[in-house]
Structure 1
Amino acid sequence: MISDFFNWIGRPEIAKPIELVLLFTIFVIVVLYAYASRKRGQRLETYKDIPFLDDHEHIPTDANQEQVKKNESDARK
């Protein structure tokens, strides 16, 4: 019984459409994860410039951004 199932699922005309649907579903899930949250989407958008930055520059993380804002507000006082 189980060997019949594996023989059936192993046939290329059956396996290829199943693989296509599975991989497309995974792709859609990843895209939804990346852009569903506005905050996460903005953070991921900042990463697109990493290859063009010099070695001494860095992308500020959320914690660093909060520290920079705090330092700027303290400097204004």
Structure 2
Amino acid sequence: YPPTPWNGSVRDSYGTPGPYEDAVQNTPIFEENPPETFKGIDIMRAVRSFDPCLPCGVHMYLGNGKALNKMHSPTMMNQG
């Protein structure tokens, strides 16, 4: 198997985050879009640095019960 399933794993039985989650924790957000058009590009760049085969499958929890539900693709128009 490629490393993607391992890197994309959930926290282990000790609460240790998986590699993707660990990489994005406390990541500075430089994006200047307002919350209603927030794209999460800084988080996507961090995950893509692992060269996963699922960068379009990254889900972001924004806090207060809100999740970012947008799809970005260099070959498709923005959908979301």
What TM-score do you get using the length of structure 1 for normalisation? 0.26
Of structures 1 and 2, the larger Rg is shown by 1
The structure in which a higher percent of residues are helix is 1
